[in-house]
Amino acid sequence: MKKILLYAMIVLGATALTVSCSDDFLNVDYYSVVNPDGVYEDADNVFRGLTGVYSILYEPSNFYVKPHPALANLPTLDLQADGWDAEMSTHSWGVESKSEFFERAWRYSYQMVSRANLYLADLENVSDDVVPAATRVIYESEARCLRAAAYYYLTINFSRVPMLMTGETYANSPEKARPDSDEEAWKTIKEDFEYAAKYLDWWPADGMVGRFTKAGALAYAAKANMYIGDFTTAKSQLKDIIDHSGRKLNPVHGMLHWEGNPQSEETIWEVSFPLFPDMNSGYKAYRNEMKDDYRYFTQQTKANEYGGWGDSALSYELVRSFEPGDKRLTYNIVCWHGTYGDVNPYTGDPIGKKSNFQRFWQDKGTPNNHSTKWWKTNNKYNAFSVQLYRYSEVLLNYAECCFRTGDEAAGWDIINQIRNRAWGNLEVGYDPNVTNKSTYKFPTAMLNTEKVTVPDAKTVYTKYKADKGYKSDVWVVALTQERRKEFTYEFSLWYDLCRMDLVQEWLDCEYPKNGGATFYNTATKKYYVPSGADKNEPWDKASEAERANMIPVQARDWDWNPIHLRYPIPTSELTANPLCTQNDGYE
């Protein structure tokens, strides 16, 4: 395998890719992208310009990745927060929100847009004798994908946003209005992706892992078409990936987020992050380029009990939604059960080993269940590639398109394929330590040695719909729940709920208002509301007989507000760009 693109970025860091560390909004200098004296005459410098666009993927600040799993999960209530971002779990954010997520998402996305636009303008002046036309069109396609990916992220978070195009930045186009409609925005986004899909190959150009591919371009184009409502075109694009990309389901769900294993067989688009030879605080060259975000992913998400930041507390409702035999629970979540805790299968750390963590709710009120998607080692410095779009999402999106175009049998077949992997049937006879590129070894004792029977999805979700009180079609409930379990603590569930206008139904069925209760008695139908800040109080005061039927529940005493289908435009943008208007309800 050729050098990963990230290595090329690091080599270039001292020259072409220097970025201002200023906090000024969109402080991106034109000449920080390329060397103006040689860009038109030197092929290497043209490529440096492209890597300058990619490098924005590795430059978020304050230990948080962009896109951020909190924006895509906290509002679903499956993920819970207890600090400055707790407002995301209670839907209490506003224009002057304490959360910094909105400003960061906006700033880093537009940095990507600005670099891509400047690079694309420069590329138009590169002659054939410097870079052949066939190579230039690849560079253009990748830059357009990166621009479109930034606009995709902005649009799913903020709805339509000002769309700067080739050659435009906020420096030379400081005032720009939003498109008239979301559909217009999505058409612009899909145009970039569909253009790139014509020219990119299924494997990254020059074998450099981390570059956009045809599969990534088609996958995002299809999602844009789904937002527009063109499910026929989206279905065709997704089928092209299924039939021709060579991507496939990783046989072991627990291997999906594995340290030092970039561009796995399930990767459609990821921020590739390889394992360095010496990942520690003294590794200055890498540290300076990558800041601390990706190296600290394990530290950020591991349980507080073991010295982590604990940013991955998952609700008891989510835990209870998994069916018996669904190994996505085993592979992705360690839980507290009231008298004992699960053991992290990758690190050997048991939940509740320390007495002060033997509680349903931790001191700050978050559930004592923890995601292990990025807590697979206890290394403080780690190398998790962040998969923003996986092959399983291609399949589930294709299934939705099948249902919406009258191909119901194919839709259920795809869902059952996802569930077949989830129950471990693809693991039988498979050794992940032979095929994966990482030096870390998967605990093979967890693998199935015999195939098992997987409950039929339509039958299961017909009952689930009735039990929970959903009004939507069974296939909608099935897709929503499979996305919930497949993409726990990843980057898509909240946005799909918003796109499908399912948020209110989701909240009513999965997290109904309960007056702020933290426990529920399944026999008496009684909710228990703590009298103070201690969420464990109802359990502590209950009798043994009561405890037999008490389950922890997420407190909710607030109403759903439809304005929260999108986040507020940051005030800094409204101040700097008077043509940009605020989203409805946030004025």
pLDDT one-digit tens code per residue, 184-196: 999 999 999 999 9
Helix 231-244 and helix 391-404: axis angle, to 10°? Answer: 140
So what's the pLDDT on residue 212? Answer: 97
Banded model confidence at residue 361, pLDDT cuts 50, 70, 90: very high
Residue 96 pLDDT level (bands cut at 50, 70, 90): confident
More confident residue, 517 or 378: 517
In terms of average pLDDT, the best of 107-111, 288-292, 511-515 is 511-515
pLDDT band at 296 (very low <50, low <70, confident <90, very high): low
Phi/psi at 165 (5° precision): -115, -170
Is 417 in the same domain as 542?
no
Look at residue 562 and tell me if it is in a domain: no
Query: In terms of domains, do 399 and 534 share one?
Result: no
| Count of structural domains, the chain | 2
pLDDT score at 56:
86
Among 208, 108, 102, 184, residue whose Cα is nearest residue 149: 108
In a domain, 176, yes or no: no
Q: Residue 299's pLDDT is what? A: 78
Which pLDDT does position 283 carry in this prediction? 45
486 neighbors 328 (Cβ within 8 angstroms) = yes
Whether residue 501 sits in one domain with residue 404: yes
**One domain for residues 385 and 503:** yes
In this prediction, residue 27 carries a pLDDT of: 31
Highest-confidence segment of 102-111, 285-294, 379-388, 475-484:
475-484
Residue 316 within a domain: yes
- Structure confidence at residue 587 as a pLDDT band (50, 70, 90): confident
379 in a domain, yes or no? yes
Burial class (CB in 10 A: 0-12, 13-18, 19+), 430: middle
Query: Over 90: is that where the pLDDT of 549 sits?
Result: yes
Which of 492, 511, 530 is the endpoint of a domain?
A: 511
240-275 tens-digit pLDDT: 999 999 999 999 999 999 988 888 999 999 988 877
pLDDT of the residue at 279: 64
Q: Does 566 map to a domain?
A: no
pLDDT in the model for residue 66: 67
Q: Are residues 484 and 528 in the same domain?
A: no
Is residue 4's pLDDT more than 80?
A: no
Phi, psi dihedral angles at 229 (to 5 degrees): 100, 10
pTM exceeds 0.85, yes or no: yes
| Share of residues in the chain with pLDDT > 90 (%) | 74
pLDDT per position as a tens digit, 337-355: 999 999 999 999 999 999 9
CA distance 146 to 388: 13
Distance from chain centroid for Cα 314: 15
> Which residue range is the domain that position 545 belongs to?
519-552
Please say if the pLDDT value at position 289 is more than 60: no
Asked if residue 130 belongs to a domain, the reply is no
For residue 383, the model assigns a pLDDT of 81
3-state class (DSSP) for residue 270: strand
Q: 95 pLDDT exceeds 80?
A: yes
284 pLDDT more than 90: no
Could you tell me which residue, 564 or 436, shows the higher pLDDT? 564
Whether the pLDDT of residue 514 is over 90: the answer is: yes
Question: Phi/psi of residue 432, each to 5°?
Answer: -65, -20
- 537/507 same-domain check: no
Whether residue 218 has pLDDT greater than 60: yes
Check residue 57 and give its pLDDT.
Answer: 86
Quickly state the pLDDT bin for 378 (edges 50, 70, 90): confident
| 94 found inside a domain | yes
Q: Can you tell me the distance from the alpha carbon of 231 to that of 155, in angstroms, rounded to the nearest whole number?
A: 19
What H or E segment, with its residue span, contains residue 316? helix 316-321
Q: Give the model's confidence band at 22: pLDDT under 50 very low, under 70 low, under 90 confident, else very high.
A: very low
- What is the rounded average pLDDT of the residues 217-238? 98
> What mean pLDDT, rounded, does the chain reach?
89
Mean pLDDT for the stretch of residues 6-24: 32
| Sign, CA torsion 161/223/418/208 | negative
476: pLDDT strictly greater than 50:
yes
Same structural domain, 406 and 540: no
Q: What pLDDT shows up at residue 409?
A: 98
Highest mean pLDDT among 305-319, 429-443, 472-486: 472-486
Q: What is the per-residue burial (b if ≥16 Cβ within 10 Å, else e) of 285-303?
A: ebbebbbbbbbbbbbbbbb
pLDDT at residue 10 in the model: 33
Q: What is the pLDDT of residue 287?
A: 43
Q: What mean pLDDT do residues 194-202 have?
A: 98
Does some domain include residue 203?
Answer: no
Q: Looking at per-residue confidence, does 351 or 9 come out higher?
A: 351
pLDDT score recorded for residue 357: 95
Using pLDDT thresholds of 50, 70 and 90, give the confidence band for residue 221.
Answer: very high
Q: Assess whether 405 and 344 both reside in one domain.
A: yes
Q: What is the pLDDT of residue 360?
A: 98
Q: What is the pLDDT, as a whole number, of residue 1?
A: 34
Over range 367-379, report the average pLDDT: 92
Nearest to 491, CA basis, from 210, 103, 157, 264: 157
Same domain, 474 and 503: yes
Same domain for 527 and 392? no
Query: Residue 291: its pLDDT value, please?
Result: 45
Judgement on whether residues 481 and 362 belong to the same structural domain of the protein: yes
pLDDT digits (tens, 9 = 90+) for 401-452: 999 999 999 999 999 999 999 999 999 999 999 988 788 899 999 999 999 9
pLDDT at 65: 60
* Same domain membership, residue 345 and residue 255: yes
- Average pLDDT of the residues in 75-79: 98
Q: How far is CA 581 from the centre of its chain?
A: 27
Give pLDDT, residue 64. 52
